[in-house]
Protein backbone atom coordinates (compact mmCIF):
# COMPACT_ATOMS: atom_id res chain seq x y z
CA UNK A 1 0.00 0.00 0.00
CA UNK A 2 1.24 3.45 -0.79
CA UNK A 3 1.91 5.88 2.05
CA UNK A 4 -0.72 8.36 0.90
CA UNK A 5 -3.29 5.58 1.30
CA UNK A 6 -1.86 4.71 4.75
CA UNK A 7 -2.19 8.32 5.91
CA UNK A 8 -5.73 8.48 4.65
CA UNK A 9 -6.62 5.17 6.34
CA UNK A 10 -5.13 6.42 9.60
CA UNK A 11 -7.38 9.45 9.46
CA UNK A 12 -10.41 7.35 8.64
CA UNK A 13 -9.58 4.86 11.41
CA UNK A 14 -10.24 7.65 13.93
CA UNK A 15 -13.35 8.75 12.01
CA UNK A 16 -11.85 12.13 11.30
CA UNK A 17 -12.67 14.34 8.37
CA UNK A 18 -9.96 16.28 6.61
CA UNK A 19 -11.20 19.45 8.29
CA UNK A 20 -11.13 17.85 11.74
CA UNK A 21 -7.61 16.49 11.26
CA UNK A 22 -6.57 19.89 9.95
CA UNK A 23 -7.72 21.54 13.15
CA UNK A 24 -5.97 18.94 15.32
CA UNK A 25 -2.60 18.94 13.52
CA UNK A 26 -2.78 22.61 12.56
CA UNK A 27 -2.19 21.71 8.92
CA UNK A 28 -4.27 23.29 6.20
CA UNK A 29 -6.99 21.26 4.54
CA UNK A 30 -5.28 21.63 1.16
CA UNK A 31 -1.97 20.33 2.54
CA UNK A 32 -3.64 17.28 4.05
CA UNK A 33 -5.31 16.53 0.73
CA UNK A 34 -1.90 16.80 -0.94
CA UNK A 35 -0.35 14.44 1.66
CA UNK A 36 -3.06 11.95 0.86
CA UNK A 37 -2.33 12.20 -2.86
CA UNK A 38 0.57 11.00 -4.99
CA UNK A 39 1.76 14.50 -5.94
CA UNK A 40 3.23 15.43 -2.61
CA UNK A 41 6.84 15.96 -3.79
CA UNK A 42 5.62 18.05 -6.68
CA UNK A 43 3.44 20.35 -4.58
CA UNK A 44 5.11 20.58 -1.15
CA UNK A 45 8.60 21.53 -0.06
CA UNK A 46 10.77 18.99 1.76
CA UNK A 47 10.76 21.20 4.85
CA UNK A 48 6.97 21.25 5.03
CA UNK A 49 6.82 17.51 4.42
CA UNK A 50 9.09 16.87 7.43
CA UNK A 51 7.00 19.14 9.63
CA UNK A 52 3.74 17.49 8.56
CA UNK A 53 5.08 13.95 8.99
CA UNK A 54 6.30 14.77 12.51
CA UNK A 55 2.80 15.93 13.41
CA UNK A 56 1.27 12.80 11.88
CA UNK A 57 3.77 10.58 13.74
CA UNK A 58 3.08 12.21 17.07
CA UNK A 59 -0.69 12.12 16.76
CA UNK A 60 -0.96 8.61 15.36
CA UNK A 61 1.96 7.25 17.42
CA UNK A 62 4.17 6.36 14.44
CA UNK A 63 7.95 6.02 14.03
CA UNK A 64 8.85 9.31 12.34
CA UNK A 65 12.10 8.08 10.73
CA UNK A 66 10.47 5.01 9.23
CA UNK A 67 7.45 6.85 7.95
CA UNK A 68 9.62 9.59 6.49
CA UNK A 69 11.83 7.08 4.70
CA UNK A 70 8.83 5.15 3.46
CA UNK A 71 7.08 8.32 2.36
CA UNK A 72 10.05 9.66 0.40
CA UNK A 73 10.76 6.31 -1.23
CA UNK A 74 7.12 5.90 -2.20
CA UNK A 75 6.84 9.37 -3.70
CA UNK A 76 10.21 9.19 -5.41
CA UNK A 77 9.10 6.02 -7.17
CA UNK A 78 5.90 7.77 -8.16
CA UNK A 79 7.88 10.76 -9.39
CA UNK A 80 10.20 8.52 -11.37
CA UNK A 81 7.21 6.79 -12.94
CA UNK A 82 5.84 10.18 -13.91
CA UNK A 83 9.15 11.21 -15.43
CA UNK A 84 9.37 7.96 -17.40
CA UNK A 85 5.84 8.51 -18.61
CA UNK A 86 6.61 12.10 -19.61
CA UNK A 87 9.81 10.97 -21.32
CA UNK A 88 7.85 8.40 -23.33
CA UNK A 89 5.32 11.06 -24.30
CA UNK A 90 8.14 13.38 -25.38
CA UNK A 91 9.73 10.59 -27.38
CA UNK A 92 6.41 9.85 -29.06
CA UNK A 93 5.91 13.53 -29.79
CA UNK A 94 9.46 13.73 -31.15
CA UNK A 95 8.85 10.72 -33.39
CA UNK A 96 5.49 11.99 -34.61
CA UNK A 97 6.98 15.44 -34.98
CA UNK A 98 9.71 14.00 -37.17
CA UNK A 99 7.14 12.03 -39.20
CA UNK A 100 5.02 15.17 -39.59
CA UNK A 101 8.03 17.26 -40.61
CA UNK A 102 9.19 14.57 -43.06
CA UNK A 103 5.68 14.32 -44.53
CA UNK A 104 5.41 18.08 -44.97
CA UNK A 105 8.88 18.22 -46.51
CA UNK A 106 8.04 15.34 -48.87
CA UNK A 107 4.79 17.00 -49.95
CA UNK A 108 6.61 20.29 -50.48
CA UNK A 109 9.32 18.53 -52.47
CA UNK A 110 6.76 16.72 -54.64
CA UNK A 111 4.84 19.96 -55.15
CA UNK A 112 8.03 21.78 -56.07
CA UNK A 113 9.00 18.99 -58.49
CA UNK A 114 5.50 18.99 -60.00
CA UNK A 115 5.52 22.76 -60.45
CA UNK A 116 9.00 22.64 -61.95
CA UNK A 117 7.97 19.91 -64.37
CA UNK A 118 4.77 21.75 -65.23
CA UNK A 119 6.64 25.01 -65.89
CA UNK A 120 9.24 23.18 -67.96
CA UNK A 121 6.57 21.40 -69.99
CA UNK A 122 4.63 24.61 -70.53
CA UNK A 123 7.43 27.06 -71.34
CA UNK A 124 10.35 24.99 -72.66
CA UNK A 125 11.11 24.56 -76.32
CA UNK A 126 9.46 21.48 -77.88
CA UNK A 127 11.57 18.90 -79.66
CA UNK A 128 11.70 19.48 -83.41
CA UNK A 129 13.12 17.09 -85.98
CA UNK A 130 13.17 17.82 -89.73
CA UNK A 131 13.89 14.62 -91.62
CA UNK A 132 13.65 15.94 -95.16
CA UNK A 133 15.31 17.57 -96.92
CA UNK A 134 18.92 17.66 -95.78
CA UNK A 135 20.57 21.02 -95.21
CA UNK A 136 22.31 22.55 -98.26
CA UNK A 137 20.24 20.32 -100.45
CA UNK A 138 20.64 20.77 -104.23
CA UNK A 139 17.74 20.01 -106.53
CA UNK A 140 16.51 20.72 -110.04
CA UNK A 141 12.86 20.38 -108.98
CA UNK A 142 11.09 23.62 -108.23
CA UNK A 143 9.19 22.02 -105.33
CA UNK A 144 10.43 20.24 -102.21
CA UNK A 145 8.61 18.37 -99.41
CA UNK A 146 9.42 19.48 -95.86
CA UNK A 147 8.84 16.58 -93.46
CA UNK A 148 9.41 16.43 -89.75
CA UNK A 149 8.10 15.66 -86.30
CA UNK A 150 7.50 17.48 -83.03
CA UNK A 151 5.29 17.04 -79.97
CA UNK A 152 1.57 16.86 -80.58
CA UNK A 153 -0.37 20.07 -79.97
CA UNK A 154 2.69 22.18 -80.85
CA UNK A 155 2.31 25.12 -83.21
CA UNK A 156 4.44 24.48 -86.30
CA UNK A 157 5.21 27.08 -88.91
CA UNK A 158 7.13 26.82 -92.18
CA UNK A 159 8.23 30.22 -93.46
CA UNK A 160 5.62 31.82 -91.20
CA UNK A 161 2.67 29.67 -92.29
CA UNK A 162 0.99 27.26 -89.89
CA UNK A 163 1.22 23.55 -90.73
CA UNK A 164 -1.18 20.87 -89.55
CA UNK A 165 0.07 17.96 -87.43
CA UNK A 166 -1.24 14.42 -87.25
CA UNK A 167 -2.06 12.75 -83.93
CA UNK A 168 1.60 11.77 -83.44
CA UNK A 169 3.08 15.21 -84.17
CA UNK A 170 4.19 14.46 -87.73
CA UNK A 171 3.94 17.16 -90.36
CA UNK A 172 4.63 17.58 -94.09
CA UNK A 173 4.32 20.46 -96.54
CA UNK A 174 5.35 21.06 -100.14
CA UNK A 175 7.27 24.29 -100.70
CA UNK A 176 7.83 26.03 -104.04
CA UNK A 177 11.43 27.02 -104.66
CA UNK A 178 12.98 30.00 -106.35
CA UNK A 179 16.08 29.77 -108.47
CA UNK A 180 19.25 29.74 -106.44
CA UNK A 181 19.40 29.67 -102.64
CA UNK A 182 16.17 29.15 -100.70
CA UNK A 183 16.16 29.51 -96.91
CA UNK A 184 13.37 27.52 -95.27
CA UNK A 185 12.56 28.33 -91.65
CA UNK A 186 10.72 25.65 -89.68
CA UNK A 187 9.60 26.49 -86.13
CA UNK A 188 7.71 24.71 -83.37
CA UNK A 189 6.43 26.27 -80.15
CA UNK A 190 4.04 25.60 -77.32
CA UNK A 191 1.26 28.07 -76.58
CA UNK A 192 3.36 30.11 -74.13
CA UNK A 193 6.86 28.80 -74.73
CA UNK A 194 9.87 29.65 -76.82
CA UNK A 195 10.28 28.53 -80.40
CA UNK A 196 12.55 25.75 -81.50
CA UNK A 197 13.79 26.67 -84.98
CA UNK A 198 15.42 24.60 -87.71
CA UNK A 199 16.71 26.29 -90.85
CA UNK A 200 17.16 24.40 -94.11
CA UNK A 201 19.07 25.78 -97.08
CA UNK A 202 17.98 24.45 -100.41
CA UNK A 203 19.54 25.35 -103.73
CA UNK A 204 17.45 25.16 -106.88
CA UNK A 205 19.86 24.74 -109.76
CA UNK A 206 19.09 26.92 -112.71
CA UNK A 207 18.42 25.16 -115.97
CA UNK A 208 21.26 25.91 -118.40
CA UNK A 209 20.24 27.07 -121.82
CA UNK A 210 22.24 25.45 -124.59
CA UNK A 211 22.78 27.52 -127.74
CA UNK A 212 23.26 25.57 -130.94
CA UNK A 213 25.71 27.18 -133.37
pLDDT digits (tens, 9 = 90+) for 153-162: 889 999 999 9
Mean pLDDT for 132-140 is 89
Q: What confidence category does residue 96 fall into, taking pLDDT thresholds of 50, 70 and 90?
A: low
The correct answer on CATH 2.60.40.10 for the domain covering 128-204 is yes
Name the phi and psi angles at 16, rounded to 5. Answer: -105, 140
Any idea which fold 1-123 has?
Answer: 434 Repressor (Amino-terminal Domain) (1.10.260)
Q: What is the rounded distance in angstroms from the CA atom of residue 132 to the CA atom of residue 192?
A: 27
Higher pLDDT, 103 or 145: 145
Q: What strands, in cross-sheet order, belong to the sheet with 155-158?
A: 137-139, 195-204, 180-189, 155-158, 161-163
| Cross-strand pairs, 144 | 175
Is the pLDDT at 132 greater than 80, yes or no?
A: yes
pLDDT averaged over every residue in the chain: 79
What does the alpha-carbon distance between residue 170 and residue 150 come to, in Å, rounded to a whole number? Answer: 6
Residue-level pLDDT at 91 = 64
Over the stretch 101-115, which tens digit does the pLDDT of each residue have? 778 778 877 887 777
Query: Is 35 or 89 the better-scoring residue by pLDDT?
Result: 35
Looking at the chain, the domain(s) classified CATH 1.10.260.40 span 1-123
* 66-96 CB burial, b ≥16 within 10 A, e <16: ebbebbbebbeebeeeeeeeeeeeeeeeeee
Q: Which tens digit of pLDDT belongs to each residue from 34-72?
A: 877 766 656 666 677 778 888 888 888 877 777 777 666
CATH 2.60.40.10 domain extents, the chain:
128-204
Average pLDDT over residues 6-20: 85
Burial of 212 (0-12, 13-18, 19+ CB in 10 A): exposed
Amino acid sequence: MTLDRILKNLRLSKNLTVKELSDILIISVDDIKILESQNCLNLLSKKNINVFLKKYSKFFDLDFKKIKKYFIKNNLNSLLDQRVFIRKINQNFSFFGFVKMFTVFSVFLLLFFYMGTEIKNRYSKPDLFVFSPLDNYNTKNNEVAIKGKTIKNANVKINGEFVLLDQFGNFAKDILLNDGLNVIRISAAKDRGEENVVVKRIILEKNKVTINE
